[in-house]
Amino acid sequence: MDKEMRRPSKLTLGAVQLGLRYGIANRDGMPDESAAQEILEEAWQRGITSFDTAAAYGESERRIGAFVKRHPELAAHLFIATKGALEPTVTLDDEAYKSALFERLEISKTALNVPEVPLYMAHRYEDYRRRLNAYTSFFGQAKDQGHIRLAGISLYTPEEAEEVLRLSRKAPLLDALQIPFNLFDRRFLENELLDKLKAAGFMLFIRSVYLQGLLFLSPDTLPSALREAAPLLRRLQSLSSETGVGLREMALGYAHERAAPDSILIGVETVTQLRENLDAYEKRLPSGLIEEIDHTFSKVPTPVLDPRKW
């Protein structure tokens, strides 16, 4: 496959769980080395060619790198996205900041066992915005020197995406965005924002399709910070029972049809969960369910949508 044409698969394995315990519904913890490699093998065998990771995800980059080392023949076909960041308190000038970003990038390349990262992202938008000159120079130079193929940012809010659109008109160095989207969170559909991002040429990745596992929790056992989610979860469970559509199937189908991204991230702790996700994605939602979801969950409190507030 020509690296110029390398694209993510429709599902991307979100590998944060392979490197640390993650998610409010996580009951299995972080898989051990053998289990992590089994998940990566199964993902590849089932057609997932894109993996999402980050320097901050514990053992995740190294475990993907071990998979790449064991299967060097696959390296040219994998679409690996990773993220880097410096501590927000760092007070370097732009040139020194850029050099520090390059140091982080080299550490990630070594861990991943790749000479070039297909997609390298700023992990936090606020860092990117605050150090825009350093990041702009870093991304441009990293591309020119063959360290990365594409550049991107992980976003949390529509306001951040709107600002990216404005900035991209002046400095069109960004190629990809990662945004949250799920049954409860459709903020990026407002004001045709998703359409604007696509029209601007951004490759779009959807994460948090299960809202970090919140969609699977019992409304009766929620922590106090998420009490507002209880009635929403009850309505979601009722909708699932009434339609006979499982929660995974509903969440993946809704994201696929409503947002139509380049790829949807799924995170798993076991091979069984991976298979359940893949099987659910292959199904399509019954007629009218998309509209019913839109109507049922049209007003969701903002604190429920942002895991940083939990």
Domain boundaries in the chain?
3-218+249-285
Q: How far apart are CA 214 and CA 225, in angstroms?
A: 12
CA 307 to chain centroid: 14
CB neighbour class for 183 (10 Å; exposed up to 12, middle 13-18, buried from 19): buried
**Tens-digit pLDDT profile for residues 46-102:** 999 999 999 999 999 999 999 999 999 998 999 999 999 998 888 899 999 999 999
Does the pLDDT value for residue 1 go beyond 60?
no
To which residue do tokens 């990262």 refer? 117
pTM: 0.94
- Return the pLDDT at 240: 98
- In sequence order, what are the residues at sequence separation of 6 or more whose Cβ sits closer than 8 angstroms to the Cβ of residue 218? 233
Q: What is the pLDDT of residue 3?
A: 44
Question: By three-state DSSP, how is residue 201 classified?
Answer: coil
At 207, list the tokens. 């994460």
What is the token pair recorded at 164?
């990216």
Largest CA distance in the chain: 58
* 93-117 average pLDDT score: 97
Q: HSE (CB half, 13 Å, CA atoms) of 68?
A: 24
Find where tokens 């924002």 sit.
193
Asked if pLDDT for residue 183 goes beyond 90, the answer is yes
Q: What percentage of the chain reaches a pLDDT higher than 90?
A: 86
| Confidence check: pLDDT of 2 > 60 | no
Using an 8 Å Cβ cutoff, are 142 and 120 in contact?
yes
pLDDT digits (tens, 9 = 90+) for 24-41: 555 667 899 999 999 999
Residues 6+ apart with CB under 8 A from 304: 184, 211, 214, 226, 228, 229, 232
- Supply 245's token pair: 């559509």
Instruction: Please give the pLDDT value at position 191.
Output: 86
Beta-bridge partners for 13? 51, 266
pLDDT of residue 227: 93
pLDDT at site 22: 64
* 145 C-beta neighbours (distance < 10 Å), count: 10
CA–CA distance, 119 with 176 (Å, rounded to integer):
8
Q: Once rounded to an integer, what is the mean pLDDT over residues 287-304?
A: 94
Domain 3-218+249-285 CATH class label: alpha beta
For 196-219, what is each residue's pLDDT tens digit? 999 999 999 999 999 999 999 999
pLDDT mean across residues, the chain:
94
